[in-house]
Amino acid sequence: MKPQEPIPHNYSMQTLNKIFAISSIALLMVTGAMVGYDYIRGWKKFQFEFLRMQRQRIEQEIKTASDAQTADRLRELDKQVKVSQREIAKNREQYRASQAEAERWEGKHYAADQDFRFAKATLDAARYETELAITQKARDAGARRRDYAERSAHVDQLQIRLQEVTRSRDAARARADVWVKKVKDLEDQRSETTAAIDRLNKQLTTVSANSHFFILNAPMLDFINPTFKVDQVVLKDMFVDMNYMGVPRVDRCTTCHRAIDRQGFESKKEAARMQGELESKLDAFKIQPQQVEDTRARIEQLKKIQAGPRDILNPYRTHPKLDTFVGSASPHPMSDYGCTACHRGSDRATEFGRAGHTPMSRKQERRWSKGWDYDKRNWGYKVNPFLDTPMYPRQNLQAGCVKCHAGQVSINQGEEITRGTRMVELYGCHACHKISNWRFSNLRKPGPDLTGIAEKTTPQWAIRWIAEPHEFRSTTRMPSFFYQRNMVDPHVVERREREGNIKKQDAEVHAITSYLFDKSTRRKWIGGMGGDAQRGASLVESVGCLGCHVTTESFTEEGGKVRKAKRDDFPLERNYGFNLTGTGTKSNPDWLFNWLKNPKGYYHDAPMPDLRLTDQEAADITAYLMTLQKRDFMQRPVRNVDRAALRELSKSYLINTLTDKDAEARLKSMSDNDQLVYLGQRTIEKYGCYSCHTIKGFDGLKPIGTELTIEGSKNLHLFDFGFAHDYKAHDGKKEHILHTVPSWIYTKTRSPRVWDDKREKNYHDKLKMPNFHLSVDEANSITSVVLGLTKEKVDSAKLAGSDSRSRIIEEGRKSISQHNCRACHVLDGYGRAIAQTISDPGMLPPDLTPQGERVQSEWLFNFLKDPTVMTMRPWLSVRMPTFHFSDQETNTLVTHFAAAGNVSQFDTTRNLVPDARSVAVGQQIFNMLRCIQCHPTGPAAATASADAASLAPALNLARVRLRHDWIPDWVRRPNEIIPGTKMPTNFPRDPKDGHFISPLADAINSPAFAAQKSGLLPYFRDEAELTKTMSDAVALTNYLRDYIWTLGPSQMRTASPAPEGLKTIVPTDRGSPSIGKARGTPEVKVERAGR
């Protein structure tokens, strides 16, 4: 055969084969790369690292557990086992025989058991057949019944037989077991000894890299049951807003944050905090007895963490405050709340940047942005502008509380957000920026009423004040509207424009003043005479003015450096009223006298309460306040109004409705003063002064600020960052602006006009938000509140404080916050700012944390309406003011306290009459405990003691004031109810089980109390009963209460309705002398000056 001719090809086969070989290998390699890319994930590294940490820790624990002592014990046990085994070996024949016997019986038992079970199964089937036959009335029903009965009997027999066989088998087994019992016992002991180590070893296998580990986590096999996997919590009722629908949250944060819900990985700081908390709880018996041991172990663990060589860093940390957040027993368990419901961020993401982590500062952003390096904490972070809900940065974490807790005034564990909310209320953010939620609705206007400004101060002062309030008082809440960054800052505004702006700002300041004084009422106030400034000064310090007011503008830092005070040098409560410095410069003394006497006479919304000052007192205080002068301020130069600027501004408003020609004509017809008043009205409108102050002519106008109700949900691109990248705040701190929403809001609060930098804008288009001179902390708190105002809808079950009882409590809290009760009282565990100024704790106003359960609602109602109905501690100089509450306002507070104390509002216990025996016994106990030392029992005794600080409320007032159940409870554990109270703890707790120990149990038998003992004996059957009663704290305190119940009257004076004229109270007439005149019905007479 001829060899076949070579086939002609278009391509060289060899080349094609080569290409084929190379490309196939390339395909294989890229496929491998594809699998690899899919396999290598950032979170796996974290999980691997966490496994390593766990392994290390377990190994450490094993090392500690397997100490020398345990090893010795094990060796001993092993020796004993060997001895026992030798013994068995000696009697091998007998041992084997018994073994064989036992096994034989085992076989028999097996057979008998099977027989029984089979027969039983047949019987059950037969029962069914029989029942069927009976129901269907089959012909063979009778036969079947008989058959069934027979079988049933057979089964019974088999059962008896089985029992016999079982007994025999057990006996045989026991005989055989005798030989091995000892060895078994020893082995049990052994495993008991090693139990802890065994458990740890078992744990160790779950975190070790063994052969399983590699197979389970191998690429392409890791779909079966890998160690490394995405961890997630599905939250069915917490939704991610997908714009068209809500999708249940799937939080995958725990994929990297492995230890978030596991104790033992706390940071050192958190561990120290927790240790302190747990220890103080232990000391105060606040831990259930059965949990004490666990708590001790936990404290040990926390100590170990603090002693560790390195702090644990995120993502491996345990969540702080595990008992409040994330922990399964906390109010926010992870299974119900997850992570992103509070923190926000992208719930399903498993990469650092995509998860929505938000840097807290430029520095952190820079560090995060660098590549990926765990040790340097670089995460390859990039801003994701399309993520609608990036996480809250660290300083604004508590913003996450707001969406569920918006119905609460104070949030437990949310001090920052509580403070921020209070700040928003006090500083009046809500006045210009509408916030439609419960917390910020129905609040009084934050600034004083200006309809009568001419009665109170002078235009010269007002001009300087409006121009720059902070120059007058460094702590004022009145923000600065004028001469701000976008108007006069030489770095921002070029020279010519700056000069024009200054002129225009001058004109506006003058115009506002002109308008206010032009429209002001001019009632004549008659002041007091003969005031003594020194007396006044001591009155201000003693009657309670300093709860709401501060009288100094200097602040001493810790190092002893004295500087000008800032607002947050003082508690918020003390900033509630204005700083009293400079009052003399500002105020008209006649007006001031009347204001002190009756603030509501000046305007009905006045936040200042009535301290029931006598005319003399008011005159003294007036005299004192008038000595608080700031003459420098009045020396500040005031530039005259530039007529051109005034014209230009007035015209700029006129031409909104008029043509240029008409506007000119109109201007010509107006005098300079008319122009000023006209411009003033427009300027007040422009800056929105009327939002905070009541000003004549601006009723019903809408606030000028952007609504903030859902500000926290606003997308990043809706914020105008302008051209600003950094700015120098009023306190000289240079701050960087991040391109994030929190940073924008923060910057807006710190330097409101910074967005105008480098922009070309008309005068009126420039930003108008005033500068509140907020400190960093204040700005952060307010930013948190604003960020928390979102449109997220929360399932009603997860809304805090939405049940009716909570609503009552919260309404009360809102009122408490509004009336600044915390200036003097502790409420819900915090407050009493006045304590800063009163050194003797015995002279402090009371702690009202347990007020509801303490006092009767009826009494409280009367007392709030008119505090003069009862004087508990006549030696106090601080006065409970009269707030002139309406009945409704009073009820809000009374129901609040009752609900907060979880007691019913009204009861009949006041009318209970204790039996004579209880009273007699109680009196003896009263004497034995020497209550009389501090507590007077009658009105005469109240003033007996000179040492006021050691006195306690008179007990004759108890019956009409205190609750029946309260007295014994209070006597038993005063220090637990109000920590630090002066009431001594007569019944200490047993440190072991927390029971009360009665000191009388021993005392009754001491010779010192012989008289009391003999006095008590008649009321008891025998001495044993007496001794038993004397050691029973509950019984003793009940007797004591019954005695106290008899001390005072059962009825009290009630408050009379408020006088009708109160709200419109006006000054006394010019002619009548005001000093020495009793507070009578004021006469209504308003004089208007001029116009």
Partner 1 sequence: MTFIKNYVNMLSGASSSFILLSVLFLFIVYFCLLDGRVRSRGGMAMLAFGILLTVGGLIFSFPTFVLGLTYLASMFLLAWLGPRIWEKRIGLYILVILSVAFGLSMLDPQFFLIAGKPDNVPIAAMIFLLGFFTWLALRKAYLNDRAMAAGGIPFEKTESDEKLFTWPDLVYTEMLCMIILSVVMVVWSLALRAPLEEAANPTTSPNPAKAPWYFLGLQEMLVYFDPWLAGVVLPTLIVVGLMAIPYIDTNPRGNGYYSFRERKWELGIFLYGFLVLWSFLIITGTFLRGPNWNFFGPYEYWDLNKLVPLVSINLSELIWVKALGMPLPKLWLIREFFGLALVGLYLALPPILARVGFRRFYLKMGAARYYVGTFLFLMMMSLPIKMFLRWLFNLKYIVQVQEVFFNI
Whose Cβ is closer to partner 1: residue 238's or residue 259's?
238
Is the CB of 23 or the CB of 64 nearer to partner 1?
23
Q: Which stretch binds partner 1 (CB under 8 A): 31-39, 581-589, 904-912, 1054-1062?
A: 31-39
Given the complex with partner 1, which of 30 and 1011 has the nearer CB atom?
Answer: 30
Nearest to 344 by CA among 778, 784, 795, 802: 784
Question: Rounded to whole angstroms, how far apart are CA atoms 796 and 798?
Answer: 5
Cα-based distances in Å from 913 to 332, 893, 906, 964, 1051:
47, 29, 17, 11, 13
Q: Calculate the CA dihedral of residues 733, 736, 738, 741 and round it to 10 degrees.
A: 30
Question: Out of 4, 6, 11, 139, which residue is the one contacting partner 1 (CB under 8 A)?
Answer: 11
| Contacting residues for 68 by C-beta, under 8 A, at least 6 apart | none
Rounded to whole angstroms, the Cα distance separating 210 from 367 reads 37
> How many CB atoms sit inside 10 A of residue 627's CB?
12
Question: CB neighbours of 578 closer than 8 A, spacing ≥ 6?
Answer: 473, 476, 549
For 332, the 3-state DSSP assignment is strand
Q: Do the beta carbons of residue 173 and residue 105 sit within 8 Å?
A: yes
Using the minimum distance from each CB to partner 1, give the nearer residue, 51 or 355. Answer: 355
Q: Does 932 bind partner 1 (CB under 8 A)?
A: no
Interacting positions 357-416 with partner 1 (CB under 8 A):
384, 386-388
- Rule CB under 8 A: is residue 6 a binding residue for partner 1? no
CB-based contacts of 326, cutoff 8 Å, min separation 6: 260, 261, 319, 332, 333, 334, 337, 339
Nearest approach, Cβ of residue 222 and partner 1 (Å): 19
Nearer to partner 1, 739 or 1053 (CB): 739
Q: How far is the CB of 824 from partner 1 (least distance, A)?
A: 48
Of 33 and 913, nearer to partner 1 (C-beta) is: 33
3-class SS at 556?
A: strand
Distance, CA of 457 to CA of 463 (rounded, Å): 11
- Of 3, 6, 8, 309, which lies in the binding site for partner 1, with binding defined by CB under 8 A? 8
Residues of span 213-272 touching partner 1 by CB under 8 A? 240, 242-243
The closest of 335, 368, 365, 336 to 351, measured between CA atoms, is 368
- The residue from 54, 340, 346, 784 that contacts partner 1 (CB under 8 A) is 346
Among the listed residues 5, 37, 220, 561, the single contact to partner 1 using CB under 8 A: 37
Lookup result for tokens 């100089």: 877
The residue type found at 30 is V
What is the nearest approach in angstroms of partner 1 to the Cβ of residue 374? 22
Residue with smaller CB distance to partner 1, 242 or 1078? 242
State the nearest-atom distance from the C-beta of 766 to partner 1, in Å: 18
Nearer to partner 1, 673 or 715 (CB): 715
By CB under 8 A, name the one of 30, 121, 125, 1010 that touches partner 1: 30
Strand partners, 373: 378
Q: How far apart are CA 667 and CA 329, in angstroms?
A: 73
C-alpha distances (whole Å) from 461 to each of 457, 479, 577, 623, 978 are 7, 16, 19, 20, 47
Dihedral class, residue 304 (left if φ above 0, else alpha if ψ from -120 to 50, else beta) = alpha
Do the Cβ atoms of 271 and 63 come closer than 8 Å? no
Q: At closest approach, how far in Å is the CB of 722 from partner 1?
A: 9
Bridge partner residues of 855 (DSSP): 962
* Nearer of residues 24 and 904 to partner 1, judged by Cβ: 24
- CA separation, residue 701 to residues 283, 562, 912 (Å): 58, 44, 57
Report how many residues bind partner 1 under the rule CB under 8 A: 29
State which of positions 601-640 bind partner 1 (CB under 8 A).
none
CB 259 → partner 1: shortest distance, Å?
28
Residue nearer to partner 1 on the CB measure, 17 or 114: 17
User: Comparing C-alpha atoms, which of 201, 202, 197 is closest to residue 70?
Assistant: 197
CB 977 within 8 A of CB 967: no
**Which residues are registered as beta bridge partners of 235?**
249
Q: How far apart are CA 830 and CA 1044, in angstroms?
A: 30
Peptide bond into 315 cis (omega under 30): yes
Q: State yes or no: residue 307 binds partner 1 (CB under 8 A).
A: no
H/E segment holding residue 728:
strand 726-728
Binding mask 432-471 for partner 1 (x = CB under 8 A): ----------------------------------------
Among 1, 6, 7, 1018, binds partner 1 (CB under 8 A): 7
The residues with which 556 forms a beta bridge, in sequence order, are 562
Nearer to partner 1, 16 or 1086 (CB): 16
User: Minimum distance between the CB of residue 242 and partner 1, rounded to whole angstroms?
Assistant: 5
- With CB under 8 A as the contact rule, the residue among 9, 137, 495, 758 that binds partner 1 is 9
Report the nearest approach of partner 1 to the CB of residue 232 (Å): 16
Question: Per this entry, what is the length of the chain?
Answer: 1091
In the set 23, 205, 943, 1051, which binds partner 1 (CB under 8 A)?
A: 23
Residues 6+ apart with CB under 8 A from 629: 582, 584, 585
C-beta of 225: minimal distance to partner 1 in Å? 26
Give whichever of 27 and 97 is closer to partner 1, judged by the CB atom: 27
Beta carbon nearer to partner 1, 32 or 988: 32
Stretch that binds partner 1, among 1-9, 215-223, 838-846, 889-897 (CB under 8 A): 1-9
40 binds partner 1 (CB under 8 A): no
Subset of residues 694 to 753 that bind partner 1, contact rule: CB under 8 A: 715, 717
CB of 26 to partner 1, least distance (A): 5
Q: How far apart are CA 785 and CA 421, in angstroms?
A: 6
User: What is the sign, positive or negative, of the torsion defined by CA atoms of 891, 892, 898, 904?
Assistant: positive
**From 28-36, 652-660, 782-790, 883-891, span contacting partner 1 (CB under 8 A):** 28-36
Segment contacting partner 1 by CB under 8 A, of 25-33, 65-73, 417-425, 588-596: 25-33
Instruction: Let me know if 1043 is exposed, middle or buried by CB neighbors in 10 A (0-12, 13-18, 19+).
Output: buried
Exactly one of 1, 3, 5, 10 binds partner 1 (CB under 8 A); that residue is 10
Q: At closest approach, how far in Å is the CB of 38 from partner 1?
A: 10
User: For partner 1, which is the closer residue by CB, 308 or 385?
Assistant: 385
Strands 554-556 and 246-251: unpaired
23 or 943, CB closer to partner 1? 23
Cβ neighbours around 865 below 10 Å, total: 23
Is 1071:524 a contact under the CB 8 Å cutoff? no
Shortest distance, position 690 Cβ to partner 1, whole Å: 33
Binder to partner 1 among 1, 4, 13, 465 (CB under 8 A)? 13
Pick 250 or 799: Cβ nearer partner 1: 250
> Should residue 27 be labelled a site residue for partner 1 when binding is judged by CB under 8 A?
yes
Residue 241: CB minimum distance to partner 1, A: 9
Beta carbons within 10 angstroms of residue 107's beta carbon: 10
Please identify, using beta-carbon distances, which residue of 8 and 1018 lies nearer to partner 1: 8
Residue 198: phi and psi, rounded to 5, are -60, -45
Nearer to partner 1, 8 or 637 (CB): 8
Which residues bind to partner 1, rule: CB under 8 A?
A: 7-11, 13, 16, 19-20, 23-24, 26-27, 30-31, 33-34, 37, 240, 242-243, 346, 354, 384, 386-388, 715, 717
